[in-house]
Amino acid sequence: MAKKFFNGVYEGRRVFVTGASGFKGSWLCHWLTDLGARVTGFSLYLPSNPCHFEVIGLSDRIRHVSGDVRKLGELMGRPRAVETMVAVIGLDSACIEEVIRENGLSAIDVANFNSPSQTVVSGPSAELERAGPIFERAGASAYVPLPVSAAFHSRYMADAGRAFADFLAPMTFRRPEVPVIANVTGRLYGDDDTSETVRSLLTRQITHPVQWLQSVRYVLAQGSMEFVEVGPRNVLTPLVQQIRRTMDAASR
């Protein structure tokens, strides 16, 4: 039944699954990859992926499923009212980095490269508030504070990164059975990546930007591809559509 549904909808197409987490998401993601799909996660969703694709053994998988994402959520979700995140709409990332550099906003980090016209920044709340009018004068069409508890994917998560590294240290990671893209590089985990490399990539994403734009561009550059978003909301699909449109326009 599952295979019939998959083949009926996606026969003859290559499929990339995005954003799968939780029990239902894990099951569906595993089912789709068994039928030939590839996978990437976004931010907190990515650490759940290794347990789906035989990257870790059974004993580590039990530890991973029961504690990994929960542990990361606890570490990243500890309230830090003095720091937050803001989505900058209407400017490309190069312009945003230039605004930060030329206006003494060195306390602000770029946290998410979401699409050609959407980038998220992290930093102290007061500094992000001061930066709003500066970005708007530079041409931003919107400057949207996000309802988050900390400045994720930035230097301000260093303590959480060290704690998560300690949590992952006892685990052994193997080569994925299906292609998996690392958020922090926007590239596939390599066949020759060691267990230490995989642990490092999972840990680095806590303090480094989410390379979603680079990840989707990489996937689309491989040829015709369909994306399936597995999650409670339609968040990543519009970003993929925007990235696809800009790539199509650039290729004409």
- Please compute the mean of the pLDDT values over residues 158-182 and round it to a whole number: 83
Residue 40, pLDDT score = 59
Domain boundaries defined on the chain: 2-78+156-251, 83-148
Q: What is the DSSP string of 152-194?
A: -SSGGGHHHHHHHHHHHTT--B---SS-EEETTTTEEPPTT--
**Greater pLDDT, 132 or 237:** 132
Residue whose C-alpha is closest to residue 42's, from 232, 244, 246: 232
Classify domain 2-78+156-251 by CATH number: 3.40.366.10
pTM for the model: 0.79
d(CA 172, CA 64): 11
* pLDDT at 4 > cutoff 70: no
| Second-level CATH architecture of 83-148 | 2-Layer Sandwich (3.30)
pLDDT at 133 over 70: yes
Cβ–Cβ < 8 Å for 114, 212: yes
Percent of the chain with pLDDT over 90: 38
Q: What is the pLDDT of residue 62?
A: 37
pLDDT of residue 168: 84
Report in angstroms the alpha-carbon separations of 206 from 41, 129, 238: 14, 23, 24
Taken in order 51, 57, 59, 60, is the CA torsion positive or negative? negative
Residue 223 confidence (pLDDT): 82
What is the average per-residue pLDDT within 42-56? 49
| Mean pLDDT within 185-205 | 86
The reported pLDDT for the residue numbered 144 is: 97
